[in-house]
Amino acid sequence: MSTAGPSKQHLIDPGICIRCNTCEETCPVNAIAHDSRNYVVMVEICEGCRACVPPCPTGAIDNWFPIAPGKPYTLEEQYSWDELPAPDAQSVATTSAEPDDVARLTREATAGQGGPVAAPWSAEKPVVNLYNEKNPISATVAGNFRLTGNDASADIRHIVLDFGGVHFPLLEGQNIGVIPPGTDEQGRPHHVRLYSVASPRDGERPGYHNCAITVKRVTADHEGKAVKGVASNYLCDLKKGDKVQVIGPFGAAFLMPNHAGSSLMMICTGTGSAPMRAMTERRRRRMALNEGGELMLFFGARAQDELPYFGPLMKLPKTFIDINFALSRVPGQPKQYVQDRIRERHDDVWRQLNDENCYIYLCGLKGMEKGVDEAFRDVCRQHGGDWDTLLPQLREKSRYHVETY
C-alpha cells in the first residue's frame, strides 16, 4: 500500500463490478483475488500502483477508503459485500489515490464549505484518478476560442480538448489536471493545475470523446503585480492540433443531482462559471424530457464583455434558467456583487434554501465566500430563519458545495 499510504485501503465496489477479471489479470503483484461472488483486494499485498485502474471498464476498481490504523477490511468482509460500506463524507469528498498536489488543491478549494460534503444522493457515480502524472493521457486541442470581448481586460478562453477516441469519463463539476511542459526556475517539472470541465458528461460535442475548459490568461497576481501565469499562458496560447498532457478526472463531491425535479442554485464569479456552464448545458440537452426542477444562476463579472458564455446564456429561455448577473465595473453604475443579487432575490433564495431538492454550488474567487455566506445569513434572518442552523443541515444533505481559488 505504499502509494496510497498506510491509512488508505484499495477496495472494489461489488455493486458496479462486472466480474470481467481485468483487474486480476493486470495487477503486477497479484493483490487481487475473487470467489464466485466478489473481486477483492489483499491489503497486505496491494502497493497502490494503480495499474489496474485505467483498464477497469466500470470504475468499480477505483475506491480508496481511509482506515483506522491496523483495522483494514478483511477479505472475509469484502467477499460478503453486495456493495461497499457507506464511507463517511470526508472519504467521499477526497477519494484518495489522487496525487498530493491535487488533494491539497481540492482541500483548499472546498475549505469554504466549513466541513466535508458528500455528493448529492442521486449524482452519477464519478470515475476518478484514471490518469496520473506517471501515466497522463495526451489530448489534442480541437479549438481555442476567446470568450471575452476584444476590448475586455481579461483574455478568457474556451479550450476544447479531444481524447482521440479514448473514453475519458467526466461528470459536470469534476476537474481535470493539466501539466505544463518544461521545468520551473529550479529545473523541477511544473506542478499540475486543475481546471473544471465546462462541458456536460457526453462531451463538448455529444458522442465525441472531448471536453472544454475555461481558462483566463493570468497576467497579474492577487496584489496586482505583473506575473505571467505558467499554465494559463501555455493553455491560452495553444493552437488547434497541439498536444496537452492531461490527468484525472478528479472530484467526487461537487456533482449535480441526477433525479427528476432537482433544482440547482449556481453562484459564480469569472471563470468559476465553468462547472455552471457544464451543469446548465447538461440540463439544456435534456430540456425536452420535462424533468422539472429549477435553475437559478448568480453570475458576477466586471462587465458584460468580461462574462464568459454571455451570448449563449442570453439565448436560453427565461422559463429554463433564472439568470442574475452582477457587474462590478460598469461606468456610471454602482458596483454589484453576486451577494447583492442574492439579497435582492431573497424570496426565491429562501424558498430554494428550504427545498430539499435544491442543491447549491459556489465557484470562483475565494473572496466571494464570505460575502455569499453573509448574504445567506441576511436572507435567513429576513425570513425568520437561522443560517448557522441551516448550513450544517445543507452540508449533511449534500446540498452545499464550494470550490473557490
Q: In this chain, which of 95, 300, 321, 323 binds ligand NAP, going by CB under 6 A?
A: 300
Binding segment for ligand NAP among 61-69, 361-369, 376-384, 389-397 (CB under 6 A)?
A: 361-369
Please, which residues have CB within 8 angstroms of residue 300's CB and are 6 or more apart in sequence? 268, 269, 270, 325, 326, 327, 328, 336, 337, 338, 364, 368
Is 171 among the residues that bind ligand NAP (CB under 6 A)? no
Question: Considering beta carbons, is residue 71 or 225 the nearer one to ligand NAP?
Answer: 225
Is 216 among the residues that bind ligand NAP (CB under 6 A)? yes
Is 302 among the residues that bind ligand NAP (CB under 6 A)? yes
Q: In this chain, which of 17, 160, 363, 402 binds ligand NAP, going by CB under 6 A?
A: 363
At its nearest, how many Å lie between ligand NAP and the CB of residue 249?
13
Backbone angles phi, psi at 71, to 5 degrees: -125, 55
Is 167 among the residues that bind ligand NAP (CB under 6 A)? no
Is 352 among the residues that bind ligand NAP (CB under 6 A)? no
Is 54 among the residues that bind ligand NAP (CB under 6 A)? no
Is 371 among the residues that bind ligand NAP (CB under 6 A)? yes
Question: Considering beta carbons, is residue 129 or 196 the nearer one to ligand NAP?
Answer: 196
Sign of CA dihedral 387, 388, 392, 393: negative
Dihedral Cα 342, 345, 348, 354, nearest 10 deg? 30
Helix %, strand %, coil % for the chain, to 5?
25, 25, 50
Sign of CA dihedral 153, 281, 370, 124: negative
Question: Considering beta carbons, is residue 52 or 117 the nearer one to ligand NAP?
Answer: 117
In the three-class reduction of DSSP (H, G, I as helix; E, B as strand; rest coil), residue 62 is classed as: coil
Please, which residues have CB within 8 angstroms of residue 163's CB and are 6 or more apart in sequence? 137, 139, 209, 210, 211, 246
**CA–CA dist 73, 8 (Å, integer):** 11
For residues 237 and 228, the answer to whether their CB atoms sit within 8 Å is no
Is 120 among the residues that bind ligand NAP (CB under 6 A)? no
Is 403 among the residues that bind ligand NAP (CB under 6 A)? yes
Is 405 among the residues that bind ligand NAP (CB under 6 A)? yes
At its nearest, how many Å lie between ligand NAP and the CB of residue 400?
16
At its nearest, how many Å lie between ligand NAP and the CB of residue 275?
7
Is 252 among the residues that bind ligand NAP (CB under 6 A)? no
1, amino acid identity:
M
Is 328 among the residues that bind ligand NAP (CB under 6 A)? yes
Q: Which residue has the cell 442552523?
A: 389
Please, which residues have CB within 8 angstroms of residue 295's CB and are 6 or more apart in sequence? 263, 264, 266, 280, 283, 320, 321, 322
Binding segment for ligand NAP among 208-216, 248-256, 284-292, 392-400 (CB under 6 A)?
A: 208-216
Binding segment for ligand NAP among 56-64, 91-99, 267-275, 311-319 (CB under 6 A)?
A: 267-275
Question: Considering beta carbons, is residue 46 or 268 the nearer one to ligand NAP?
Answer: 268
The DSSP-derived string for 195-252 is EEB-S-TTTTTTTSSEEEEEEEPP-B-TTS-B---HHHHHHHT--TT-EEEEEEEE-S
Backbone angles phi, psi at 108, to 5 degrees: -65, -40
Is 329 among the residues that bind ligand NAP (CB under 6 A)? yes
User: Footprint of ligand NAP on this chain (CB under 6 A)?
Assistant: 154, 195-196, 213-216, 269-272, 274, 300-302, 328-329, 337-338, 363-365, 367-368, 371, 403, 405
